[in-house]
Amino acid sequence: MTRPIDNLKIGDEFTRTRIVTDEVIRDFAKVSGDHNPIHLSDEFAAKTRFGRRIAHGMLSGAFISAVLGDEFRERKIVYLSQTLKFTAPVFIGDTITATARVDRVRTEKGIVFLLTTCTNQDGQITCSGEAVIMMLE
């Protein structure tokens, strides 16, 4: 009997692209409860080193979660962990591509390790990390 994990190979890659809009940022603020003015206030953000509003860092984490949830929905997974290193800001109007690439598979345990990145429209990595998922039978 072939299990869903048996069909995964090192290097398999899954992506999803989203445009970051004011609405997306405001909706994320509502859901998360993070109302930091760097995300929501043009006046406040203009006085920061970024010069304008930036998206919540965890919004990129949510984009990665969406890749895993969407790509693996037929395989049924449990998200075990995620590391994130934020390397560049995400601004309103940026097009972010979240990518998860299979790095290691522990077939006997049903565990998959994926390298994760978010990249903007200029090819700049805005965050990177590792996701660990458990595939259910």
pLDDT in tens, the chain (137 residues): 566 677 889 999 999 999 999 999 999 999 999 999 999 999 999 999 999 999 999 999 999 999 998 887 777 889 999 999 999 999 999 999 999 999 999 999 999 999 999 999 999 999 999 999 998 87
Contact predicate 24/11, CB 8 Å = no
Beta bridge partners of 81: 132
pLDDT of residue 2: 63
Alpha-carbon distances, residue 42 vs 30, 46, 52, 77, 108 (angstroms): 17, 6, 6, 39, 51
pLDDT of residue 122: 98
Strand-strand pairing, 13-19 and 111-119: unpaired
pLDDT of residue 95: 98
pLDDT of residue 3: 67
- Distance separating alpha carbons of residues 13 and 99, to the nearest angstrom: 7
- Distance separating alpha carbons of residues 65 and 70, to the nearest angstrom: 8
Beta bridge partners of 99: 15, 117
Contact predicate 98/63, CB 8 Å = yes
